[in-house]
Structure 1
Amino acid sequence: MRSRPAPSALAVLAALTALAAAACAPQEADGTASGPSSGASSAGSAATTTAASCAPAALATKARGKLTVGTDTPAYAPWFQDDDPSNGKGFESAVAYAVAQRLGFAEKDVVWQKVAFNNAFAPGAKTFDFDINQVSINEDRRKAVDLSSGYYDVRQAVIALKDSPAAKATDLAGLKGVRLGAQVGTTSLDVINEQIKPDRPAAVFQKNDLAKSALKNGQVDAIVVDLPTAFYITGAEVPEAKVVGQLEAAGGTGGTGGTGAKEQFGLVLDKGSPLTSCVSRAVDALRRDGTLAALEKRWLSDAAGAPVLK
């Protein structure tokens, strides 16, 4: 069932930003926030980027006067809705339009492009200006692409059928003997291999849809996905499954590595893209003015009910 039509994406974002403005730190006189980016690549520093260099006319986008944004297909809820990234519904669609607005692009000037998840951060030139698709920030990916500041702090979660042995797990030890699965190339798969460390190799799937089918068919006992997706799957797609729990944030900036930093999703850009610092600057401003928090509250599930598996 499709949801009731919503107002334009930018109108919604403008209203959310206005609500948060009273609690915001003051911005620069030119209307853009300053400060170092919290996850930008070496392509440039948000602290030294000038307002003029981030003006739409100065940005070296793939198509003049347009902002090309990539994401995978199908575009899953709760990150998108109705498999239509251009409708402004869902957290990542709304974030993309919020970044576009910060960069000075109108809603009509945002062009969406289909990009397979693994292709987004594979080595090689990109056909998009940035890609948004739950890509975790980590140093391995930074070797091939630029990644913006983090726009979402995330944890991974375990889903199991309610009658599965995995559903009874209360800690990581309870998951070691079960059959686990995750999408290839994801932090979810890293979590299985590096945190849970099951007795048998994890099943690897090209798409989350295939992982969900394997779960429903009993080919695996549990799958690992990010927490908001876990709540959506169990609430709307596989009601016979439950969220067993969430995992503690692994080390490293946006992934595993042992430093204890939280995992974050970042926007993907060409390696050495001239847009990276401006995009990170926009993301940082949206975090500071409360827009990201407001969008998260609107579109993503509350994680409070998921126990932490240790």
Structure 2
Amino acid sequence: MPYEWPPLIPGDSDEIARRVAAVLEDAWQRLEAKQREVIAKFADNPRTPYTLATLEEFKQAIRDFRQRVDQEARQFVQRQLPHLYEEGGRTAAEALGVTFTWTTFHRDALQSLAADSYADFLRRSEEAERMASQFYRAVRQAARREVPLLAAGNMTAKRAAKNLADRLAAKHKLTHVIYRNGARVPVRAWAEAATLAKSAVAYNAGTLNRSRQAGVSFVEVFDGSDCGWTSHQDPDKATGTLRAVEDAAEWPISHPRCRRAFGPRPDAQLPRQRSDGEKRSEHAYAPRAT
């Protein structure tokens, strides 16, 4: 199948996320269309050779979907992630009055991030492929075991074939990807959420690594007013707080569509040691001086 979408051009995170989601949704819709075609032909003429020939077209559609995911994921990690990482690094550098250059330190960090992001895209797509492959195996098994028995009973072979096709369609719907934990997620939704999450992590990695490279120990958190530190529901609210660079690197975002960002605070110091009688805060907090 030719790759019909134009090459990915690095840019705005939201726009790129919509593009990646559209590409993968298009590939999935083609797979859905081929499934409907298989079911329609199965109901019309369930003879084994005819059914298996049509089913092979569906198998090819699964391979096409895998190829689309692979191509788009590679473009994203090779083009968009470096762009965002550098943006984050340059933003931190400007705040510190220094420059950003692609040192070995940053290249190694980006390589690790890209490998993780690429693998995550493939893991997510595997769930979609698993569902499609289950349908493929079910139809193949029905064609070999059940079709020869369709004329048995009091209904015609045609009616029995239609009933069997309806049963296969109902059991193997491809409108959503159903994960092993039972979650039902449209392909567009998981693709967009995954892309936004990886984009935010890449930008923040650039900021944090350039800050660390400059000897900065603390960063200020910019986030939604209701967003928690380790999850959106975490009562430990993030925005406006100071966090150690290491802690920020552990929680660059708290949920897939998180808008978290960081600013280096070279002026911040470790909180003074409190006596046992004083209440110790969980983390340092210092509003930016105006």
Task: Assess same fold via TM > 0.5.
Answer: no
By percentage of residues, which structure has more strand? 1
As a proportion of its length, which structure holds more helix? 2
- Structure with greater Cα Rg: 2
For Structure 1 versus Structure 2, the TM-score category normalised by the shorter chain is under 0.3
